[in-house]
Amino acid sequence: MKTKALALSATLALAATGSAFAGGLENVLQRGTLNCGTDNTAPGFGYLNTTTSKMEGLDVDFCRAVAAAVLGDANKVNFVNVTDKSRFTAVQTGQVDVVFAHTTLKPGRESAITVDFLPVNFWDGTGAMVKADLGVASIKDLDGANLCTTQGSSTEAALANMLKANGWSNQVLTYENLEKLFGALNSGRCDAMFTDKSALAAWRANSANPSDYVVLPEIIEKSPFAGFVAANDSRWRNALRWISYGLIEAEERGITSANVDEAKASADPNTRMFLGEDGTFGADFGIPKDFIYQAVKQVGNYGEIYERNLGPDTKIYIDRKGTPNALSADGGAMISPLWN
């Protein structure tokens, strides 16, 4: 009996090992489409443009870059709408392969919720927006006001900490997504809308009369955004991690969607290895050898993605200069490890 029990244990262990290999990468390659979780109510990050009926935003472009790198086609993405509340379950249950949805990287989300984060793709901060006719110029003036945020967001905890630190007992209402949150501010159900300052700026800019709203100056908590995958799938996580780093590295090297073909023909050994002409980066990750070339050619480097969605030609315009979103060479926090 003991021998049979040991054999059964060994069989189960092998089965478990086998299932571990059937991870995110294998699923995406077999399916031929990336199921990417993102928001569709966050202008600048994940937003359904009702004029074009297309998804757009920085997070959306990261989904497209992964599809270009892994499948060779940035259009092979099935965008799955997730909310602040549903995003972690979506990736843990396999509904999506990865989530890019302006999600704050926090230790409890890797330890207790058990997801694995990718590199930070945007640095933000939690703040508040009020209607201008409220006559409030600072978060310090909100004692007793009705405060609102989204369900399941890190802002809920930040708000609770802020109230406790100030000894306030404000009513806090939560909503399913940013669209409903903005609606609550507009209808007067809440006095102040709390979420990431980039989202506040976006909703203000896209409103009929932006001057009707005031984004208050304070940041109550920093918010480094990053994509994430299900925990304990290092093969998939590592491939995505280096695709993300590759977009930043391409900007550092001055390689853009316009000149990447010229760079690919370069005699520089580091550039040739980076773009997959030489070396085995792609094969070692289990993805095409030219994965960075495809991502940059079809979607652009990190700077191009940023400019397209948050740059000066957009309604939102969040300046990178002097912020952590600038490249490290320019004093920011955006940097890639070495590629050699």
Per-residue tens of pLDDT for the chain, all 340 residues: 433 443 333 333 333 333 334 689 999 999 999 999 999 988 899 999 989 999 999 999 999 999 999 999 999 999 999 998 899 999 999 999 999 999 999 999 999 999 999 999 999 999 999 999 999 999 999 999 999 999 988 899 999 999 999 999 999 999 999 999 999 999 999 999 999 999 999 899 889 999 999 999 999 999 999 999 999 999 999 999 999 999 999 999 999 999 999 999 999 999 999 999 999 999 999 999 999 999 999 999 999 999 999 999 998 899 999 999 999 999 999 999 999 8
What confidence score (pLDDT) does residue 22 get? 61
Q: Are 287 and 239 in contact, with CB atoms under 8 Å apart?
A: yes
Write the burial class of residue 54 (CB in 10 Å: 0-12 exposed, 13-18 middle, 19+ buried). Answer: exposed
Residue 275: which of 263, 259, 267 has the closest Cα?
A: 263
Residue 33: which of 90, 87, 98 has the closest Cα?
A: 98
Domains annotated for the chain, with CATH where assigned, are: 29-123+225-330 (3.40.190.10), 125-222 (3.40.190.10)
What confidence score (pLDDT) does residue 154 get? 84
- Please give the Cα distance from 224 to 222 (Å, whole number): 7
Q: What is the DSSP string of 271-312?
A: HHHHTTSSSSHHHHHTS-TTHHHHHHHHT--HHHHHHHHHST
Q: Let me know the angle formed at the C-alpha of 44 by 43 and 45, rounded to the nearest 5 degrees.
A: 95
Q: Report which residue type is found at 97.
A: D
- Please give the Cα distance from 230 to 115 (Å, whole number): 5
Q: Hey, how many other C-beta atoms are within 10 angstroms of the C-beta on 325?
A: 22
